Amino acid sequence: MGSVTGSGTVRVLRDRTAGLFLTAVVVSGFGTSAMWLAAGVWVKSLTGSDSLAALAVFAMWLPVLVGPALGTIADRIPGKQLLVGSNLVMAGLLTSLTLVGSAGRIWILFVVLVLYGASSVLMDAAESALVAGAVDARLLGDFNGLRMVAGEGMKLLAPLAGAGLYTRFGGGAVALLDAASFALAAGVCALLPAGEPDRAARTGRRGELTAGIRQVWGSAVLRPLVLAGSVTMLCAGLNGAAVYAVVDDGLGHSPTYAGVLYAVQGAGSVVVGLLAGPLLRRLGEQVFTAAGIALFAVAVGARALPYDEVALAASAAVGIGLPCVLIAAMTAVQRETPEAVLGRTAATANTLMMVPNAVALALGAGLIALVDIRVLLPLVGAAGLLTAALLVTGRRGRLTDAPAGPAPSSAKA
């Protein structure tokens, strides 16, 4: 295990297929992160409505609700074809946003944002299936950690570029930047090796929409991880809803200070992404996840303290702890799920973990008006600690139990 632990990241980076996937994540992630920031600002500037601006971000998230259905599509179309096609379609759709120059045409932006979210769910499901067959099972944690590094790294850089581009040239310029990133990502995905088996021929029609749920619920490995992820992301939503109250009421800073806290949190996520593979192999999924949840929970509780140093340390700890459950759950899904239903299972797991986050963001917006953050945040932290304690007492799945080589006949690239 030592040699795998020491060279896991290097082996993933040397793998041509894994390298192409990570390159596509970096390229498309840059445009996506810029667009996420610009969308709300664009709507606000055209309509003057804060509610519609918030709805713009929600529109991109909305398709996660139908993740299992979109995962079914991903299971019936060859992954490489789906990735290339989805990237090209989004590149074309984003160019249509250059027509949005007034409030009367804002509906075009909302339609494109919903399709944007749907394509993200589809591509994530397709990528999970392709990666599971192409990457050594013992290195899936390393890959998912590096994917986290790529995504979070773009979130640190792209919003600044997007803000500058929007200020100088408007929303259409940001849309064209994002379109170019999708087109480039399509070119990268086109370089993926061919040879993926036809999953559509082996996928029956009965029970398609529920196959992912049954796979998650019926697995002694996946069920506790996804349930723990659901509770943790619920806590994360409440924590996120309270961030401006922490900055204003707790620390006495202007709202822009939240950007500093988010940047520190992103840096923490980059760190844990680099360490995820070795830690998963050493600790096992459930202990790794429980440790991350516990760190996140303690950090959330500490945010109730009115000190800048504590707030910065807590943000870094949230960035380190929160991704653990997402990395571990997705790694387990890729390792434990039969190839024929992997797209649905990945999309279902993502839905089960992400929907509570959105619900909690909405719920938290009301709670912070009724409950003092010095009470709310410690309670949220206590819920996280209880989740970690319940998880770690269960059965411990270890990545070292996985076979030494890639999944046999499911290699698709």
269 & 345 share domain: yes
- What residue type is 366 in one-letter code? G
Rounded Cα gap, residues 226 and 329, in angstroms: 6
106 & 163 share domain: yes
For residue 10, the surrounding DSSP H or E stretch is helix 2-14
For residue 378, the surrounding DSSP H or E stretch is helix 373-392
pLDDT given at position 310? 95
Kindly state whether residue 406 falls inside one of the protein's structural domains: no
Kindly state whether residue 121 falls inside one of the protein's structural domains: yes
pLDDT given at position 401? 40
Rounded Cα gap, residues 150 and 120, in angstroms: 16
Kindly state whether residue 328 falls inside one of the protein's structural domains: yes
pLDDT given at position 394? 64
3-state secondary structure of 17: helix
pLDDT given at position 275? 92
pLDDT given at position 201? 43
Which single residue is written with the structure tokens 């922490």? 246
Q: Which structure tokens are listed for 62? A: 């909305």
227 & 281 share domain: yes
Rounded Cα gap, residues 403 and 137, in angstroms: 7
pLDDT given at position 31? 87
DSSP codes of every residue in 208-266? HHHHHHHHHHH-TTHHHHHHHHHHHHHHHHHHHHTHHHIIIIIT---TTHHHHHHHHHH
Total count of residues recorded for the chain: 413
What are the φ/ψ torsions at residue 221 (nearest 5 degrees)? -90, -45
Which single residue is written with the structure tokens 């822009």? 256
pLDDT given at position 207? 56
16 & 163 share domain: yes
Q: Domain containing 131 — which CATH number?
A: 1.20.1250.20
pLDDT given at position 403? 38
pLDDT given at position 397? 41
153 & 231 share domain: no
Q: Which residues of 244-262 are buried (b: 16+ CB within 10 A; e: fewer)?
A: ebbbeebbeeeeebbeebb
Kindly state whether residue 120 falls inside one of the protein's structural domains: yes
Rounded Cα gap, residues 185 and 175, in angstroms: 15
184 & 68 share domain: yes
Which residues in the chain come in under a pLDDT of 70? Answer: 1-7, 50-51, 194-207, 256, 394-413
370 & 318 share domain: yes
154 & 283 share domain: no
CB 22 within 8 A of CB 11: no
Q: Which structure tokens are listed for 206? A: 């009965």
Helix, strand, coil abundance in the chain, percent, nearest 5: 85, 0, 15
Rounded Cα gap, residues 391 and 256, in angstroms: 37
235 & 300 share domain: yes
Count up the domains in the chain and report the number: 2
Q: Which structure tokens are listed for 9? A: 């990241």
Rounded Cα gap, residues 136 and 141, in angstroms: 10
pLDDT given at position 396? 45
Q: How far apart are the first and last CA of the chain?
A: 26
pLDDT given at position 202? 46
- What residue type is 410 in one-letter code? S
pLDDT given at position 243? 83
DSSP 98: G
Kindly state whether residue 268 falls inside one of the protein's structural domains: yes
For residue range 4-54, what is the model confidence (pLDDT) as tens digits? 444 677 888 788 888 888 899 888 888 888 887 788 888 888 888 766 877
70 & 181 share domain: yes
Kindly state whether residue 379 falls inside one of the protein's structural domains: yes
99 & 29 share domain: yes
What are the φ/ψ torsions at residue 254 (nearest 5 degrees)? -75, 160
CB atoms within 10 A of CB 230: 20
Rounded Cα gap, residues 110 and 175, in angstroms: 13
Residue range of the domain that includes 56: 1-192
Which single residue is written with the structure tokens 């800048």? 308
Kindly state whether residue 353 falls inside one of the protein's structural domains: yes
Kindly state whether residue 411 falls inside one of the protein's structural domains: no
30 & 168 share domain: yes
What are the φ/ψ torsions at residue 37 (nearest 5 degrees)? -70, -45
**Which own/partner contact pairs does 1-10 have at CB distance under 8 Å and 24+ positions apart?**
1/281, 1/282, 1/400, 4/138, 4/139, 4/281, 5/277, 5/278, 5/281, 5/282, 6/278, 8/138, 8/139, 8/141, 8/142, 8/277, 8/278, 8/281, 9/142, 9/145, 9/146, 9/274, 9/277
